[in-house]
Structure 1
Amino acid sequence: MTASHHNIPSPPAATLINGSNSGGFMPMRRHRMMMHMSFFWSHSAEVLFTGWPGPDRPAMYAISLVFVFLLGVLVEWLSHSRLIKTGTNIVTAGLLRTCLYTVRSGVSYLVMLAVMSFNGGVFLATVGGHAVGFLVFGSGVWKKSGGSGTERSSDLPPMTCG
């Protein structure tokens, strides 16, 4: 074993079971996966799933951008929708609200993971999806004016960071 500069021993090297050294380790493949730590512009990126959209597949990259855009719109729709009717049983309404909250959280995490690909196109698609979703569902541009103003604006509380 060798020691790193932090005095932490390296793990033992992988050995082959049918090789000359049969120490009980399964054969391991060492993949060198480059992870970008700054934004890059390329259609050769992995978005959300291993191998998707894949290298040298610009059409699949475009589909992945549309998918991420729609995820952003979906988050905004869930954040500003009123799906639970007034007068619904309080327990049923609570369970439905919990389900909606869970779905919104899951989709929000998917969007966050997509942005963590550090691909500039994915980032712009995400921001665009949130912007269009807010314009359509949250800005009030298409809401009819009038009413008492005492009704809920959405079923879920606003999303917060922190």
Structure 2
Amino acid sequence: MDGMGDGRTPGMNGTTVPPPHRHKMKMMHMTFFWGTQAEILFSGWPGTRTRMYALAIVFVFALCVLVEWLSHSRLFIPAKAGFAAGVLRSLVHALRMGLAYLAMLALMSFNGGVFLAAVSGHAVGFLAFASGAFGKPEEVYRPDAGKAAADLPLMSC
């Protein structure tokens, strides 16, 4: 029982010890919330300005479209095989996974707008690059027809 009321604790020889210095910590949302006051990916970003929040939403949307493009694109000549082609495919896979994890970290802000931007980005990317809505669906859904559907295997959970 210290009886001092100011947070100090009794020390040796009748002296008092001040409380340890504590950093003021922010609480992180653990449920979805709606609003522009969010931290996405970096401390203090996008801040309190609505324009920066809109930029963050556009960034997450574009990031998810890019992940879908990398997942379904044909960047390399299929006839080329070997070590160099394997290294290039591995680098593209690492880039795709890094971007997908970055999108996942943005989603961990639990902001409803970020969630909708990520889902919309993946949907638009899939529509543009894999759905067959703009032609050649047989290459997308029939990789056994003589052509590979994409350079990289599809991501799976």
Normalised to the residue count of structure 1, the TM-score between the two structures is: 0.78
SS in 1 for 2:145: coil
Corresponding residue to 1:95 among 84, 87, 98: 87
Structure 2 counterpart of 1:156: 152
Cα distance in 2, alignment partners of residues 146 and 104 from structure 1? 24
Q: Which moved more, 1:141-150 or 1:67-76?
A: 141-150
Is the aligned partner of 1:81 residue 2:77? no
Cα distance in 1, alignment partners of residues 21 and 79 from structure 2? 59
2:38–2:111 Cα contact (<8 Å) kept: yes
RMSD: 2.2
SS in 2 for 1:159: coil
| Mapping for residues 1-162 of structure 1, pairs under 5 Å | 30-55=23-48, 57-144=49-136, 149-161=145-157
Q: Which moved more, 1:128-137 or 1:83-92?
A: 83-92
Q: Which has the higher helix share?
A: 2
Number of equivalenced pairs: 137
Cα distance in 2, alignment partners of residues 41 and 103 from structure 1? 30
SS in 2 for 1:108: helix
Unaligned stretches of 5+ residues in structure 1: 1-19, 22-26
Cα distance in 2, alignment partners of residues 76 and 49 from structure 1? 23
Cα distance in 1, alignment partners of residues 60 and 34 from structure 2? 16
Cα distance in 2, alignment partners of residues 149 and 137 from structure 1? 18
Normalised to the residue count of structure 2, the TM-score between the two structures is: 0.80
Calculate percent identity across the aligned residue pairs.
55
Task: State the structure with more CA Rg.
Answer: 2
Q: Give the deviation of 1:32 after TM superposition.
A: 2.1
Q: CA 1:63 to 1:96, structure 2 compared with 1: closer, same or farther past 3 Å?
A: same
1:100 aligned partner, one-letter code: V
Cα distance in 2, alignment partners of residues 132 and 28 from structure 1? 49
2:71–2:155 Cα contact (<8 Å) kept: yes
Please list every run of at least 4 consecutive aligned residues from structure 1 whose deviation after the TM superposition is greater than 2 angstroms. 143-149
